Amino acid sequence: MSKFERTACLIKQVSRNPGQLAAGIALAVTFAAGVFADMQNQAVHHQRERAFVSKQLGQVRARLEAEITSGIQLVRGLIAVIKLEPDLDQQRFSRIAQNLMGDEPLLRNIAGAPDLVISLMHPMEGNRAAIGLDYTKDALQREAAMRAVETGDMLLAGPIDLRQGGRGFVARFPVFLDEERTPETLWGIVSTVIDVDAFYAASGLDDENLAIDLTIAGKDATGVDGPVFYGSQSVLDADPVTATVSLPGGSWHVAATPRDGWSSSPPNAWLVRSLLFLAGLLVVLPILIAGHYYDRHRADLRELNRRERQLERLSQRLKLALETSRIGVWEMDIETRKLTWDSRTRELYGIDADAPEPSFEECDAMSHPDDRAQARMVFEQAIASESRFENEIRIYDRKGVMRWVRTIGAVSRDAQGHTTVLGVNWDISQDIELKSRLMDANRKAELRNLELEDARALMEYNSLHDSLTGLPNRRYLDQRLAVGTDGGGTSGGDEPITALLHIDLDRFKQINDTLGHAAGDAMLVHAAEVLKASSRSDDFIARIGGDEFVLAITGEASEADLGRLATRIIERMRQPVPYENQECRFGVSIGIAFAEAGTPDYGRRLLIDADIALYRAKKSGRNRHEFFTPELKAEIVNGRSLADEILAGLERGEFIPYFQPQFDAWTLDVTGVEALARWDHPERGVLAPDTFLKAAEELNVVQMIDRSILEQSLFQQARLASAGVQVPKVSVNVSAGRFNEPGFIESLGNLGLTAGKLSFELLESVFLDERCEKVAGNIEKLKALGIDIEIDDFGSGYASIVSLLNTRPSRLKIDRRLVMPIVECDQQRQLVASIVEIGRSLDIRVIAEGVETMAHAAILRDMGCEGLQGYALARPMPSAHLKEFLCRERARHIA
């Protein structure tokens, strides 16, 4: 903390506690006053001490002067006699001196020196040695004697050590005769010795009662500057009281201090200080206490203010919270049942702000009749158990509006034992409504899921069954054949297949062409019935193509058994079938092969073997059966005529596209065309794909056909465009083999594609490939090239919704086998509707193929299917016809 901060902090602290400040000031003032009083006390004491010393010194000084003066007066008496009798002799001198001195102890002797030579002496005894001393010649005394003669006045010298022992002052008086005459006549000198000890004793310097230390300076009467001859020098240095002793011809300087020195403090100092302290205490203590209480009072006030502000803030917050959350607060006195409501509770019940408080009964009556009993019970139980309660009830407010209200309350008891119920309530109508809507939506979603699940199950069933005969289809057969090969397949518990009958209807195409599809269909259904009737229950019957069936045998069966079974079937099939007042006849050829269990891929081989046998049966005249043999196989493989023809046809460019237009379901505008491969055979005419695709697949040349069709289609599209006829979009079929062909995507880069004008139709199975990620990756690349992706024959295979989500194609093309029955069959219609719905929910457009009648078109349009393709609208046609068709369409449109 800096100095400035510390000061600021201190100021703040003090300003918060003014009581402390007052006490501090009082303390400082009292202390200063105490110190001042103490100093005053000392000063008074000091003065008193000096006065005392001064008084004693005065007495001593007076006595010193008196003693000297009295001694001198005696000598002056003698001098007076000498002036009268200048020639007095020793005897006379001694007698007068004797009289004058009496028993004065102070004067030791008096000597007379007429003409400056000592010749007179009293007493002579002890002083005889001085007789004859000539002042003019004595070195020691001459100077002093001459000075006295010159000044004409007495001079006091000493103290000095005396010849006769001891110490004394010597007073020398010059004596002049004939004083009126000038010059005066010098008689000589009279001197006397004053005994020092006697002098001191007489002056009271030895007095025991003397309470001062005394020093006398001014030897030889030299005054303040003379040397000290009595007492100690130190007195002079200790701030003494001084006085001057006046002497004839000079002075002494006397100085005194108290005997024990100046006392540093007065004896009553501590008493005075104690009294001062007590007095100070009496002043400061009350201020301190009062200040303390004042500060505490102020702190309490501050705290009170703070709490008040806090309370205010809290209550404001609470108010805001209650207002924004629209929670109402109410209270009820349990004894009187009186209610107190706040404005929000009133609002909730639709009661005006100025209306009187409703009674408990009125409030009760506002609840919904169905909720009333329960609400009352919950409330009364809470009161009885003095506990909390929570409830949700409906109420009708004053305006008759119904609301859901949630109430939470609790019983509380105050110190006086008075009980009330305090509670909150708020409007939860919206929550309840939302909840019920969510539950409704949930129910619907569940229902919808069930429907979708049903649809999925149906689709799965459909994917494995032929819709016309209800028999398993080719895919199911493949799965069934897989059993025993690798243990896989859907029907894991099934017995392995031991033999296969491949059955093909003869003359079926004629019936179809002459009597129509319905007749053809009826024949197929009949054939299925015959097969079922002819086989055992655990045998497996499938329809694997337009007019092809397979009867797979499980368990032991000999060649003879199967021969008999084939003959039986052939016999029954040959029976005429009545159809619309006519009799239809057709026959069957059957190829039979036995499984070589344990060989790899035996299912597929079994089918090929049976196919080879069938081929032979047909070749050698119809209505017969044939068993497969390796020799037969060799024969066929060597023959290979169809395959050779296809390869030759490819080389000669005999595979050409036919175009079948596609339409917008609502406007019936042409939205695009599907390119379908045709073999323009030099001898057999234009052939449909069912005659060559299978063989081409076995030869692995479908990719080549696909490529050729794509290139020709694009060429035709461009050619038509340059002739002013726009083909909005061409869809080409892409086989799985081509789709997975290395370099496929790259090869497309060179074709000069325009985005949105080309679409690829992929079979559902392509999407189900286990290398789904790779497929998805390729699809993304195609999309990036501006090529649309469609799932062909959707609903016939296993395309799952998940795979749709993964690959996100632009269009679904509903399989024509699903579409064709929708006019008669409700269930089929439902199924197609579900598919349309799935497409829509995933934001994928849906087109239907196999639209054979305008009734189909209307149903599909109403379902929400966007695109239509089928014989009812247009058949596949060569490019030359397509140009005419499009021009006509355009003309129709303009008209």
Angle between helices 602-619 and 630-639 (to 10 degrees): 70
Piece in contact with ligand C2E (CB under 6 A), picked from 304-312, 438-446, 474-482, 698-706: 698-706
Stretch that binds ligand C2E, among 1-9, 319-327, 700-708, 829-837 (CB under 6 A): 700-708
From 723, 722, 731, 783, select the one nearest 757 (Cα to Cα): 731
- Does residue number 706 form part of the binding site for ligand C2E (CB under 6 A)? yes
Report the residue from 469, 716, 735, 834 that binds ligand C2E according to the rule CB under 6 A: 735
CB of residue 645 to Ca ion, shortest distance in Å: 24
Distance CA 372, CA 353 (A): 25
Select 148 or 675, whichever has its Cβ closest to ligand C2E: 675
CA distance 542 to 507: 20
For ligand C2E, the closer of residues 287 and 705 by Cβ is 705
Binding site partner of 850, from ligand C2E, Ca ion, none, Cβ cut-off 5-8 A by kind: ligand C2E
**Nearer to ligand C2E (CB atom), residue 56 or residue 473:** 473
Q: Is the separation of the CB atoms in 160 and 170 below 8 Å?
A: yes
235 binds, among Ca ion, ligand C2E, none (CB under 5 to 8 A by kind): none
Q: Which residues pair with 590 in a beta bridge?
A: 503, 625
| 705 exposure class (CB count in 10 Å sphere: 0-12, 13-18, 19+) | buried
Selected from 793, 803, 846, 865, the binder of ligand C2E by CB under 6 A is 793
**Is the CB of residue 205 less than 8 Å from the CB of residue 230?**
yes
- Interaction of residue 660 with ligand C2E, rule CB under 6 A: yes
The helix (H) or strand (E) run that includes residue 140 is helix 139-151
**Interface with ligand C2E in residues 832-891 (CB under 6 A):** 849-852, 870-871, 876
Question: Which regions of 546-654 does DSSP assign to beta strands (E)?
Answer: 548-554, 577-579, 582-584, 587-594, 625-627
Shortest distance (Å) from residue 677 CB to Ca ion? 10
Q: Using the rule CB under 6 A, is 611 a contact of ligand C2E?
A: no
The answer to whether residues 759 and 790 touch, using CB atoms and an 8 Å cutoff, is yes
389: phi > 0 → left, psi -120 to 50 → alpha, else beta; which?
A: beta
- Pick the closer one to Ca ion by CB: 506 or 792: 792
Q: How far is the CB of 849 from ligand C2E (least distance, A)?
A: 6
Does 816 help bind ligand C2E (rule: CB under 6 A)? yes
User: CB of 512: closest distance to Ca ion in angstroms?
Assistant: 19
Residue 702 binding partner per list Ca ion, ligand C2E, none, with a CB distance cut-off of 5 to 8 Å that depends on partner kind: ligand C2E
Residue 324 tokens, joined = 């924004």
Write the CA distances from 219 to 45, 200, 627, 747, 787, integer angstroms. Answer: 34, 15, 181, 150, 147
Number of residues that bind ligand C2E (CB under 6 A): 23
Q: Could you say whether residue 195 binds ligand C2E (CB under 6 A)? A: no
Instruction: State in angstroms the smallest separation of the CB of 790 from Ca ion.
Output: 8
Exposure string of 149-168, with b = 16+ CB inside 10 Å and e = fewer, is: beeeebbbbbbbebeeeebb
Binds ligand C2E by CB under 6 A, chosen from 733, 759, 828, 879: 733
Q: Any contact of residue 441 with ligand C2E (CB under 6 A)?
A: no
Strands across the sheet with 107-114, in order?
120-122, 107-114, 185-195, 167-177, 155-161
Place of tokens 């020793």: 90
SS3 content of the chain, % helix, strand, coil (to 5): 50, 25, 25
Binding status of residue 547 toward ligand C2E by CB under 6 A: no
- Shortest Å distance, C-beta 531 to Ca ion: 27
Check residue 868 and give left, alpha or beta (phi > 0: left; psi -120 to 50: alpha): beta
Q: Verify binding: residue 693, ligand C2E, rule CB under 6 A.
A: yes
Applying CB under 6 A, the span of 164-172, 202-210, 278-286, 685-693 interacting with ligand C2E comes to 685-693
Of 57, 405, 617, 676, the one binding ligand C2E by CB under 6 A: 676
Tally: H helices and E strands in the chain: 29, 30
When the beta carbons of 821 and 870 are compared against ligand C2E, the nearer one is 870
Least CB distance from residue 816 to Ca ion, whole Å? 6
Residues from 125 through 154 that contact ligand C2E (CB under 6 A): none
In the complex, minimum distance from the CB of residue 712 to Ca ion, in angstroms, rounded to a whole number: 16
State the minimum distance, in angstroms, from the CB of residue 885 to Ca ion: 19
What is the rounded CA–CA span in Å between residue 245 and residue 253? 6
Q: How far is the CB of 595 from Ca ion (least distance, A)?
A: 33
Burial class (CB within 10 angstroms; exposed 0-12, middle 13-18, buried 19+) of 706:
buried
688 binding ligand C2E? (CB under 6 A): yes
Among positions 545, 689, 728, 878, the unique one binding ligand C2E when judged by CB under 6 A? 689
Distance separating alpha carbons of residues 230 and 167, to the nearest angstrom: 12
Among 427, 609, 654, 792, binds ligand C2E (CB under 6 A): 792
Residue 370, helix vs strand vs coil: helix
Residue type, 334: I
Question: Binding of ligand C2E at residue 391 (CB under 6 A)?
Answer: no
Q: Identify what 866 binds: ligand C2E, Ca ion, none; CB under 5 to 8 Å per kind.
A: none
Residue 217, binding choice from ligand C2E, Ca ion, none, Cβ under 5 to 8 Å by partner class: none
Residues that bind Ca ion (CB under 5 A): 733, 761, 792-793, 849
We find the least distance from the C-beta atom of residue 711 to ligand C2E, in angstroms, to be 11
CB of 879 to ligand C2E, least distance (A): 14
CB nearer to Ca ion: pick between 391 and 733: 733
Backbone angles phi, psi at 550, to 5 degrees: -130, 135
Partner whose footprint covers residue 654, from ligand C2E, Ca ion, none (CB < 5 to 8 Å by kind): none
- Nearest distance in Å: CB 692, ligand C2E: 10
Strand partners, 794: 814
Nearer to ligand C2E, 629 or 765 (CB): 765
Looking at the Cβ atoms of 531 and 763, the one nearer to Ca ion is 763
DSSP for 822-860, please give it.
GGT-HHHHHHHHHHHHHHHHTT-EEEE----SHHHHHHH
- Taking CB within 5 to 8 Å according to partner kind, which of ligand C2E, Ca ion, none is near residue 112? none
Residue number with CB closer to ligand C2E (628 or 679)? 679
Work out how close the CB of 871 gets to ligand C2E at its nearest, in angstroms, rounded to a whole number: 3
Nearer to ligand C2E, 464 or 848 (CB): 848
Give the tokens for residue 49: 């001490």
Length reported for the chain: 895
Amino acid at site 714:
L
Q: Which does 398 bind (CB under 5 to 8 A by kind): ligand C2E, Ca ion, none?
A: none
Nearer to ligand C2E, 217 or 702 (CB): 702
In sequence order, the 6+-apart residues with CB closer than 8 A to the CB of 831 are: 455, 458, 459, 462, 795, 818
In what helix (H) or strand (E) does residue 533 lie, and over which residues does it extend? helix 517-534
Question: Does 702 participate in binding ligand C2E (rule CB under 6 A)?
Answer: yes
For 453, residues 6+ apart whose C-beta sits below 8 A from its C-beta are: none
* Distance, CA of 741 to chain centre: 55
**Per CB under 6 A, 790 contacts ligand C2E:** no
Going across the sheet that includes 540-545, the strands are 540-545, 548-554, 497-506, 587-594, 625-627
| 717 lies in the site for ligand C2E, by CB under 6 A | no
Which CB atom, from 212 or from 818, has the smaller least distance to Ca ion? 818
Which residues of the chain form contacts with ligand C2E (CB under 6 A)? 660, 676-677, 688-690, 693, 702, 705-706, 709, 733, 735, 792-793, 816, 849-852, 870-871, 876
